[in-house]
Structure 1
């Protein structure tokens, strides 16, 4: 059963991620709004990795992109991830695999502020898989994420 927050009033916490677009046939709705608790309810995972934007190894906690898309019954091949400042990047749904992209909300045990690339940052386990330590994946690592659009 999908988990999501209908509104910030229902959740008593602000919506930090909206996902919309093409659900599988029969899926309930085509727009999902998540507060932090709703994201955590999907199931969290951690990744320890270095990044080209930070010094040293850090622990990121978040929801795998695969689990997020499964939760909303996504049925598409491409995603547009959009930041708070309307910057956007395109990601293939094929990045949503076990050990792949993570929608991180925590860095070293602390929630990420907008000032520090939060509230959400798509990261990859750059150190675990050499394929991710490449400009293609760095360009998909959008921070200050606010929405994901599912496309065909």
Structure 2
């Protein structure tokens, strides 16, 4: 391959990334299930980026099966990667505070979203999660993939009934 071809390829890919990053975030048409506040550049509301379930479903979906302290058997979690949600909101911070419907809150380093395939799970074993079943959203780490994730610290960063991510 010639250097001019590589240059054109890099420029094309770069412009494509810029156009995706510059795309405005749609407004939710259904009930808001997640709000990303704080240091975000892609706002669709005064308080930040709001997502309904359909918006989260449009992001690339991922699944993994893992054991957790909360279920007796391994469970399959599915949803967008946390890093994809942060990119969609234009998050520009280093720390997240996750808030749950039950007033639980936990700190999650943004680095975790890029280092591990952390999912904002919207499905448990292929089914939507009710609030009673820790839903509708659950930040979950792939605990079985890496022994370093099977710690109280990472279990504590997993927030079920997730409603808000504040980017700091």
Asked if Structure 1 and Structure 2 have the same fold, meaning a TM-score greater than 0.5 normalized by the shorter chain, the answer is yes
Pick the aligned partner of 1:74 from 91, 94, 103: 91
Measured at CA, do residues 63 and 3 of structure 1 come closer, stay the same or move farther in structure 2, by a change above 3 Å? farther
Higher Cα Rg, which structure: 2
Is the CA contact 1:118–1:143 (under 8 Å) kept in the aligned structure 2?
A: yes
CA distance in 1 between partners of 2:24 and 2:63 (Å): 20
CA contact 2:63–2:78 (8 Å) conserved in 1 = yes
4+ residue runs of structure 1 moved beyond 6 angstroms?
none
Distance in 1 of aligned mates of 2:165 and 2:104: 12
1:51-90 equivalences under 5 Å are: 51-90=68-107
In 2, distance between residues paired with 1:85 and 1:5?
28
Q: Which residue number corresponds to residue 110 of structure 1?
A: 127
- Following superposition, the deviation at residue 40 of structure 1 comes to 1.2
Higher helix share: 2
Q: 5+ unaligned residues in a row in structure 2: which ranges? A: 1-19
Contact 2:137 2:160 in 1 (8 A): yes
In the alignment, structure 1 segments of 5+ residues that lack a partner are none
- For 2:109 and 2:135, the matched residues in 1 are separated by 22
Match of 1:6 among 17, 24, 27: 27
Count of matched residue pairs: 144
TM-score under structure 2 normalisation?
Answer: 0.80
CA–CA distance in 2 between the matches of 1:4 and 1:57? 35
Residue 113 of structure 2 is aligned to residue 96 of structure 1: yes
Tell me which residue corresponds to 1:146.
Answer: 163
Deviations 1:9-48 (A, max 9, x none): xx1x21100111112xxx3436111111100111110011
Could you tell me whether the CA contact under 8 Å between 1:65 and 1:96 is conserved in 2?
yes
- C-alpha displacement at 1:55, in angstroms? 1.5
Structure 1 residue matching 2:54: 3-state secondary structure: helix
Instruction: Quote the RMSD (CA, aligned, Å).
Output: 1.6
* Matched position secondary structure for 1:62: strand
The alpha-carbon deviation at position 85 of structure 1 amounts to 2.0
